[in-house]
Amino acid sequence: MRFFRRRTTGPAGACPNCGSSRLVKEKHSFSAIHLLDDERSVSCSHYRTQVFCRKCGFMVNDDLNNDAQHAYAQLAEQVGASRVRPADVAKAVEEARKLPTLPDAARQRDYDLVREFWGCAGMHVIPADQLEDALAKVVRGYFAEGAYRVTVETLEQGVLMLSFSTATGFRPVRLARGTGGDFVVYGQIQLYRILGVV
């Protein structure tokens, strides 16, 4: 894998994991893969600029310039894009509104279960009156970057799980309801970039 490294203060200014402002950009080669069916796919190569913390190694931004979105848009021009169905967003919103209120300790416990493995950058608060817009932004963002299906399920701990299927695996997002009625969302660093918080 080829990459180029240079020092930068980064778009967020500080690592959400350790607080260090010592960030570095790296440019890596990737393949955008679009599935046509179970046996056929098309792909194209592209570069992504990623931002890492020099102190702890945390990935602060997985695609600083949204290069993956541009690469998938090129593929969509050739073969057609995976389309976001309004029903996918509606189901996510409907299930989220049914979530029970979780105490802070329960939300923190669920977050801690996945934080390190997924590389989460905190629990991002979504006000209740912005839930539909935020979930639509998340679903559209993942589909714009190669997702072709989303599965929505409520886990036994009272947390909503959105699983986005891509040609290279699944991208998880979790959503929980807080005690004040607002929601928190967490997942891999891609989620925070899609929401515009990194």
Q: Which segment of 2-11, 74-83, 126-135 scores lowest on mean pLDDT? A: 2-11
Mapping DSSP onto H, E and C, the string for 51-116 reads EEECCCCCEEECCCCCHHHHHHHHHHHHHCCCCCCHHHHHHHHHHHHCCCECCHHHHHHHHHHHHH
Structure tokens at 152: 């929505």
- The pLDDT tens digits of the residues spanning 83-118 come to 778 899 999 999 999 999 999 999 999 999 999 999
Determine the Cα–Cα distance for residues 153 and 121; give it in Å rounded to an integer: 22
- Sorting pLDDT into bands at 50, 70 and 90, what band is 5? very low
Angle between helices 131-144 and 67-79 (to 10 degrees): 70
| Percent of the chain's residues with pLDDT above 90 | 74
Q: What's this model's pTM, rounded to 2 decimal places? A: 0.86
Contact 172, 151 (CB under 8 A): no
Angle, helices 131-144/86-97, rounded to nearest 10 degrees: 140
Phi, psi of 196 (to 5 degrees): 80, 30
pLDDT value at position 3?
A: 39
**Residue pair 173/95 in contact by the 8 Å Cβ criterion:** no
Residue 74 — pLDDT band, cuts 50, 70, 90?
confident
| Selection from 63, 58, 64, 62 nearest residue 14 by Cα | 58
